[in-house]
Structure 1
Amino acid sequence: MVAYKSKMVERISLPARETRERALEAAGYNVFNLDAADVFIDLLTDSGTGAMSDAQWAALLRGDEAYAGSESFAELESAVADVMGFEHVVPTHQGRGAENVLYGSLLSEGDVVPNNTHFDTTRAHVANQGADPVDCPTEGADDPSLEAPFKGNFSLERARAVVDDVGAERVPVVVQTITNNSTAGQPVSVENTRAIRTFADEIDATFVIDACRFAENAAFVRRREPEFEDATIDAIAREQLGYADAIVMSGKKDGLVNAGGFVATDDADLFERCKQRAILFEGFPTYGGMAGRDLGAMAVGLREAVEPSYLEDRLESIATLATLLEDVGVPIYRPVGGHAVYLDASELFPHLEASEFPGQALVCELYREGGVRGVELGSFAFPNTDRPELVRLAVPRRTYHREHFEHVAETATAVLENRETVSGYEIASDPAVPELRHFSADLEPLEPTRP
């Protein structure tokens, strides 16, 4: 069932192939360097790229821009308490600002941080504190063809092995990411969250949930975890998040806004430490790098994110894109997650070695053939990790329709028809922070690109 009708539209156009070829070369074969005007269907990220509701636009107009103690901040506090169950909120300009505030308050040189799977900015923020980020994905998470309900789960066995290796005193924080973006947007069960809560208590660690896609995760829990088949989405979300000592949130995902994030906790001491760090890096604790209107829009968005009609539309739109791609023979990661479809570049380009970045080759070909922008999440984005060679097509919320997805499938068909002629890439310039190299590194084709 379609849950929306359009009130505003934006004109888009597909640049000529010659224009795309020139733009790709000028971008150093890194689609982060492309101008948005040169992109037709933009599936680079679902972070901050969606369409807001009329209620959110109304909240923008009502925004209270007071520097301290604004009414818009009170609205956000109320929404976080009602939807997510936390008393204390420290707003930030976006999710990585929240990561800086929280992990800068919790971590020190030499610490070790287990996570079901660190995403890029999380890994970089942990490393920036001198700590070691360690991934503990569940068994089978690296198998794109394995059908399992909760492939995003945190492996308790791997986490215990980390503690046995380094000692509990070096593991002050345990992080669980829901949904697990680095593992193809796969959901995490509430049962798994409970087990990690118990584990964190055993080693006296702070348990953090990265809650960027908490509502999508709750929708999967309702569909796949029998205990919760009759529960409401908001009740599932509050229970799962309630096992954490703190959450870190990018409002640009399940906050349904274009800017903003926050840290939330019931721990008064941690709240005070985060407030002081936020003043240094973000702003006064009742605005934290956001305008009052953005605080108000996010307060509305958090409530909309747990509405069943919104989540049904959201998950079905991702499933539609996945079906269209599978129907033309594109290998994808199964089962399909909640915010993106992940393509298996290794299977698509079996002639390319991991060292030739098959995922980045696929990203470039999708743009070259149809102006579609995705992002590589394999060995290029995550160096020195053992990961599948995946390409993420992240779908902005409430933005694209079936006709756009059909164009993506047609583009993928063109890539399939020429896949044997596709060459790999090598890095031409590498930034200083390896965890973030996919944002700005330049590449070169290993063979001349075909005309």
Structure 2
Amino acid sequence: MRSYKAKMVEPIRLPSREEREAALDAAGYNAFNLDAADVFVDLLTDSGTGTMSAEQWAALMRGDEAYAGSDSFGRLCESVADVMGFEHVVPTHQGRGAENVLYGVLVDEGDVVPNNAHFDTTRAHVANQGAEPVDCTLPAARDPDSSDPFKGDFDVDAGWELVEEVGAESIPVVVLTITNNSVAGQPVSVENTREVAAFAEEIDATFVVDACRFAENAYFVRERESEFAGWTVADIVREQLSYADAVTMSGKKDAIVNIGGFAAMRDDDVFEAAKQRAILYEGFPTYGGLAGRDVEAMAVGLREAVEPPYVEERVEQVAELGRLLVEAGVPVYEPTGGHAVYVDAERVLPHVPKDRYPGQALVCALYREGGVRGVELGGFAFPGTDRPDLVRLALPRRTYSREHLEHVAETAGRVRESAEEYRGLEIVEEPEMAELRHFSARLRPVPASHAAD
């Protein structure tokens, strides 16, 4: 039973099948191009789509809209210091703003940046600096049935192989994403965090943690890493982040707000350089492109994210969706992660070859069948990689009920039963920057006569 009650509701509507088919065609078979009003259960992302608490709504009224030196910024800094252990904070409009601010300071053309697995905007920001993003993902991460409790870990052996290949001087930054979004939301252990910190220190690189889902990761640590049994989530967060030199943060995830983010760091020189870059791209360093009211809500959300029973209920609702999908005969990546369930599209649509984007075909099938919107995180979203074709169903925080989860599972079950109806897709339009093509590309179904080519 949830530990909260609803104080505001928003009506949603399931369009008819004919309406859904027309909307899908008009969107170029890309779920990002669908109108939200045409979606029944929206699991496209958990970023900025959650439900704020009464305390966060109250905080909006305290927002100090001063251009410089606002009280709201001071309260955000206090929350970041108390919850995450960083004194220097540069607010931004969201996580990708934090990436732009920090990587624009730390990364130059020709550099190489290893990560346990780059997500789309992180990869794009590294590439935009003229650097090369490299994934150092564990072999176990490629097995959706592996029971490894920390499949999100950074493969330190792969990191050392990269050092031997390109030289330590080419690697200014080492990144660790917690939880690992590109590896089905799998957690990262504190032990691995310590190992990556030592690796970064030995090659004289700045150790950056992408901390968007820091609280969810800490919950998994408490449940799965014996050293931390009995610890509070708040204490685990402080311990895990204590090894980082800097963090990037999307407040739209574990700070439970609709907009906002920040970069935080320990080094004074990096802080000063980041502030100057923030002025150019985000706004004055005490508001960072945000209204003061949004800064206030983020300060409250950071504290709420580590308080029981919020994070336990959050992770368990995701696990509940995973169980319902498995009961419906839908193959999912296991164990389930902290913010989403990842469906194995290659097993749902085994007749669709990888160059016909089975993951994107499954995204379209879920919408066509039941008005459910997910996102593909495979060959379409990450061109040039060998990532498995997974479809992420990301749950907004404190938003949907069990009945909605049951609808999602029933929809996916019907798609699995009628899988032969669905052909692959081909791209007809895409942007110049391949790393971001899944946000706006347009596709079409492969003609029946070509489907098996």
Q: Deviations over 1:314-349 (max 9, x none)?
A: 011001111111001000000100000000000111
**Following TM superposition, by how much is the alpha carbon of 1:4 offset from its aligned partner in structure 2, in angstroms?**
1.0
Provide the TM-score with structure 1 as the length reference: 0.99
Give the secondary-structure state (helix, strand or coil) at the position aligned to 1:343: strand
Q: In the alignment, which residue of structure 2 is the partner of 1:101?
A: 101
Q: In the alignment, which residue of structure 2 is the partner of 1:170?
A: 170
Q: In the alignment, which residue of structure 2 is the partner of 1:406?
A: 406
Q: In the alignment, which residue of structure 2 is the partner of 1:243?
A: 243
Alpha-carbon distance in 2 for matches of 1:181, 1:3 = 27
Q: Deviations over 1:232-268 (max 9, x none)?
A: 1111001111101000000000010000000001211
Q: In the alignment, which residue of structure 1 is the partner of 2:377?
A: 377
Alpha-carbon distance in 2 for matches of 1:40, 1:206 = 43
Unaligned runs of 5+ in 2: none
Alpha-carbon distance in 2 for matches of 1:107, 1:337 = 30
Alpha-carbon distance in 1 for matches of 2:245, 2:319 = 33
2:123 is aligned with 1:112: no
Q: Which aligned pairs between 1:3-402 and structure 2 lie closer than 5 A? A: 3-402=3-402
Which residue type is aligned with residue 86 of structure 1?
F
Which residue type is aligned with residue 175 of structure 1?
V
Q: Deviations over 1:188-224 (max 9, x none)?
A: 0000000011001100000000000000000000000
Give the secondary-structure state (helix, strand or coil) at the position aligned to 1:141: helix
**Following TM superposition, by how much is the alpha carbon of 1:116 offset from its aligned partner in structure 2, in angstroms?**
0.1
Q: Deviations over 1:136-193 (max 9, x none)?
A: 0112101111111000000000000001000000001000000000000000000000
Give the secondary-structure state (helix, strand or coil) at the position aligned to 1:114: strand
Which residue type is aligned with residue 435 of structure 2?
E
Which residue type is aligned with residue 385 of structure 1?
T
**Following TM superposition, by how much is the alpha carbon of 1:448 offset from its aligned partner in structure 2, in angstroms?**
5.7
Alpha-carbon distance in 2 for matches of 1:376, 1:23 = 18
Which residue type is aligned with residue 289 of structure 2?
G
Give the secondary-structure state (helix, strand or coil) at the position aligned to 1:140: helix
Closer, same or farther in 2 for the Cα pair 1:239/1:249, shift >3 Å?
same
Alpha-carbon distance in 2 for matches of 1:50, 1:421 = 34
**Following TM superposition, by how much is the alpha carbon of 1:231 offset from its aligned partner in structure 2, in angstroms?**
1.0
Alpha-carbon distance in 2 for matches of 1:266, 1:413 = 49
Superposed CA RMSD in Å reads 1.0
Alpha-carbon distance in 2 for matches of 1:140, 1:232 = 28
Alpha-carbon distance in 1 for matches of 2:308, 2:226 = 18
The sequence identity of aligned pairs, in percent, is 69
Give the secondary-structure state (helix, strand or coil) at the position aligned to 1:334: coil
Give the secondary-structure state (helix, strand or coil) at the position aligned to 2:141: coil
Give the secondary-structure state (helix, strand or coil) at the position aligned to 1:423: coil
Unaligned runs of 5+ in 1: none
**Following TM superposition, by how much is the alpha carbon of 1:421 offset from its aligned partner in structure 2, in angstroms?**
2.1
Alpha-carbon distance in 1 for matches of 2:313, 2:335 = 17
Give the secondary-structure state (helix, strand or coil) at the position aligned to 1:51: coil
Alpha-carbon distance in 1 for matches of 2:257, 2:330 = 31
Alpha-carbon distance in 2 for matches of 1:4, 1:312 = 13
Which residue type is aligned with residue 97 of structure 2?
G
Give the secondary-structure state (helix, strand or coil) at the position aligned to 1:62: coil
Alpha-carbon distance in 1 for matches of 2:193, 2:93 = 27
Which residue type is aligned with residue 345 of structure 2?
A
Alpha-carbon distance in 2 for matches of 1:72, 1:336 = 36
Alpha-carbon distance in 1 for matches of 2:355, 2:145 = 22
Q: Deviations over 1:386-418 (max 9, x none)?
A: 111100000000000100001101111210121
Alpha-carbon distance in 1 for matches of 2:254, 2:448 = 42
Which residue type is aligned with residue 276 of structure 2?
Q
Alpha-carbon distance in 1 for matches of 2:136, 2:90 = 28
Which residue type is aligned with residue 333 of structure 1?
Y
Moved more, 219-228 or 308-317: 308-317
Alpha-carbon distance in 2 for matches of 1:307, 1:448 = 53
Alpha-carbon distance in 2 for matches of 1:417, 1:131 = 44
